[in-house]
């Protein structure tokens, strides 16, 4: 029954998109529409390009409209607002569930009058960004050659109905900020574009004898068990005397309370109690963060905080490991069965239909603490 409902909903949403396309709208001169409506981690990896776009000879005098996930609003307001003239904020849950909301948002995109469209999403799909590009006005619409993780392995290619050009910017084995740079460089002809994801104006770090844990993930399949966090934290506090800062969003509040109860040591619980910008500021007070593959991990990297990241192996090289040019204090950890695949650079790692998110729980806490011990002994954190 659920599959039938989902199929009907998908058809209805496609009809809405087609109806929006029929609404009369005219492109205005020198108006750029940037599509980046995916998740907060993707935005953090991308966001330094907004300055490059604004300062480029190609788009310097354009009116720039950004379509972005509203979860990124606090970061945008703190760091990126000077580079954009207008933002269309997306509530992704409402977009996926509320037909009227979807209609209104697509209509706003249609009426924005873009002359040029840049889609910065690699895992494109008609249900989100491709549909937005389709309804937008403009005679120049550019996108990356994508993977098919959000389209389906046997999806029909409709790019010619949407875009004027598809730009090869790197495959699934390329880190996202590198791919973004290649895409923009090929469009503007400018080579000196950063791959760095750091937030600007960060003060020099002055960490206390403390470390942080971020308990949750946007996708619950990626969660690491609370008992694993407890065991790792107890070991680290006993050996190094470090305090623990507990982070998480509103969905993680119960797990945070459970952690504090089971841990019994020195821990300050910030889960569901801080804004994104407060989280960024608190990261300056810790020596490192333990976190699964989720947006707050990429925020920590952008803040200059050392990170021990727990990954399933899905999207290997796309999100992890970070290029050394960005940070030398990022330490990815994978389930044991992934390690030999990485050593052999096995092609299965780059096929999103052959790998899964739900294996992070298989990483034992001892593997994490052993890695931390090695980096502590080497003086890297």
The C-alpha atoms of residue 257 and residue 206 are separated, in whole angstroms, by: 28
pLDDT tens series, the chain, 381 aa: 666 766 777 788 889 999 999 999 999 999 999 999 999 999 999 999 999 999 999 999 999 999 999 999 999 999 999 999 999 999 999 999 999 999 999 999 999 999 999 999 999 999 999 999 999 999 999 999 999 887 766 667 889 999 999 999 999 999 999 999 999 999 999 999 999 999 999 888 989 999 999 999 989 999 999 999 999 999 999 999 999 999 999 999 999 999 999 999 999 999 999 999 999 999 999 999 999 999 999 999 999 999 999 999 999 999 999 999 999 999 999 999 999 999 999 999 999 888 898 999 999 999 999 999 999 999 999
DSSP string over 252-309? GHHHHHHHHHHH-SSEEE-TTTS-HHHHHHHHTTSS-EEEESSHHHHHHHHTT--EEE
- Tokens representing residue 28 in the block: 């205005």
Report the DSSP pairing between strands 165-167 and 267-269.
Answer: unpaired
Report the number of distinct structural domains present in the chain: 2
The 8-class DSSP code of residue 212 comes to E
Q: Is residue 178 domain-shared with residue 246, that is, in the same domain?
A: no
Q: Is residue 259 domain-shared with residue 111, that is, in the same domain?
A: no
Q: Is residue 228 domain-shared with residue 372, that is, in the same domain?
A: yes
- Does 351 reside within a domain? yes
Q: Is residue 299 domain-shared with residue 180, that is, in the same domain?
A: no
Q: Is residue 85 domain-shared with residue 226, that is, in the same domain?
A: no
- Does 156 reside within a domain? yes
Report the interhelical angle of 253-263 vs 226-240 (nearest 10°).
50
Q: Is residue 242 domain-shared with residue 321, that is, in the same domain?
A: yes
The size of the chain, in residues, is 381
Task: Please give the pLDDT value at position 2.
Answer: 61
The C-alpha atoms of residue 166 and residue 181 are separated, in whole angstroms, by: 15
Q: Is residue 267 domain-shared with residue 319, that is, in the same domain?
A: yes
- Does 14 reside within a domain? no
Task: Please give the pLDDT value at position 320.
Answer: 97
35: β partners: 67, 119
- Does 8 reside within a domain? no
Q: Is residue 179 domain-shared with residue 227, that is, in the same domain?
A: no
Residue with the two structure tokens 């949750």: 216
Does residue 321 have a cis bond before it (omega within 30 degrees)?
A: yes
- Does 253 reside within a domain? yes
Q: Is residue 163 domain-shared with residue 255, that is, in the same domain?
A: no
| Secondary structure of residue 231 in the 3-state scheme | helix
- Does 16 reside within a domain? no
* C-alpha torsion angle, residues 163, 105, 48, 252 (rounded to 10): -130
- Does 321 reside within a domain? yes
Q: Is residue 74 domain-shared with residue 223, that is, in the same domain?
A: no
Q: Is residue 238 domain-shared with residue 89, that is, in the same domain?
A: no
43: CATH: 3.40.50.2000
20-24, long-range: CB < 8 A, 24+ apart: 20/103, 20/106, 20/107, 20/110, 20/135, 21/110, 21/134, 21/135, 23/107, 23/110, 23/111
Q: Is residue 163 domain-shared with residue 278, that is, in the same domain?
A: no
- Does 238 reside within a domain? yes
Range of the domain at 86: 21-188
Contact 136/109 with Cβ under 8 angstroms? yes
The C-alpha atoms of residue 292 and residue 375 are separated, in whole angstroms, by: 18
């Amino acid at each position: 029954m659920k599959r039938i409902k989902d199929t009907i909903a998908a058809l209805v949403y496609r009809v809405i998109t087609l109806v929006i396309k029929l609404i009369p709208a005219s492109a205005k001169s020198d108006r750029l529409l940037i599509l980046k409506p995916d998740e907060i981690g993707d935005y953090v990896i991308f966001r330094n390009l907004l300055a490059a776009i604004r300062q480029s000879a190609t788009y310097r005098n354009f009116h720039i409209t950004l379509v972005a996930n509203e979860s990124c609003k606090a970061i945008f307001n703190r760091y990126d607002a000077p580079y954009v003239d207008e933002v269309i904020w997306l509530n992704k849950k409402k977009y996926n569930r509320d037909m009227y909301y979807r209609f209104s948002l697509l209509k706003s995109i249609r009426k924005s009058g873009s002359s040029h469209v840049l889609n910065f999403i690699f895992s494109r799909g008609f249900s989100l960004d491709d549909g937005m590009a389709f309804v937008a006005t403009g005679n120049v619409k550019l996108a990356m050659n994508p993977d098919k993780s959000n389209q389906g392995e046997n999806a029909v290619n409709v790019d010619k109905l949407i875009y004027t050009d598809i730009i090869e910017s790197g495959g699934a084995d390329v880190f996202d900020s590198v791919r973004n740079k290649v895409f923009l460089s090929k469009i503007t002809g400018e080579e000196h574009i950063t791959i760095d994801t750091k937030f600007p104006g960060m003060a020099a770090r002055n960490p206390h004898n403390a470390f942080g844990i971020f308990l949750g993930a946007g996708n619950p399949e990626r969660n690491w068990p609370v008992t694993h966090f407890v065991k790792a934290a107890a070991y680290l506090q006993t050996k190094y005397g470090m305090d623990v800062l507990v982070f998480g969003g509103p969905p993680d509040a119960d797990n945070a309370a459970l952690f504090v109860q089971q841990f019994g040591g020195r821990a300050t619980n910030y889960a569901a109690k801080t804004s994104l910008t407060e989280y960024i500021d608190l990261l300056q007070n810790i020596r490192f963060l333990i976190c699964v593959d989720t947006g707050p991990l990429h925020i920590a990297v952008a803040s200059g905080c050392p990170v021990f990241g727990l990954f399933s192996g899905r999207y290997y090289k796309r999100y992890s490991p970070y290029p050394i040019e960005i940070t030398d204090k990022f330490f990815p950890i994978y389930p044991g069965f992934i390690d030999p695949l990485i050593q052999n650079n096995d092609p299965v790692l780059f096929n999103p239909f052959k790998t899964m998110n739900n294996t992070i729980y298989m990483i034992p806490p001892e593997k994490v603490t052993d890695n931390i011990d090695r980096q502590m002994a080497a003086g890297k954190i």
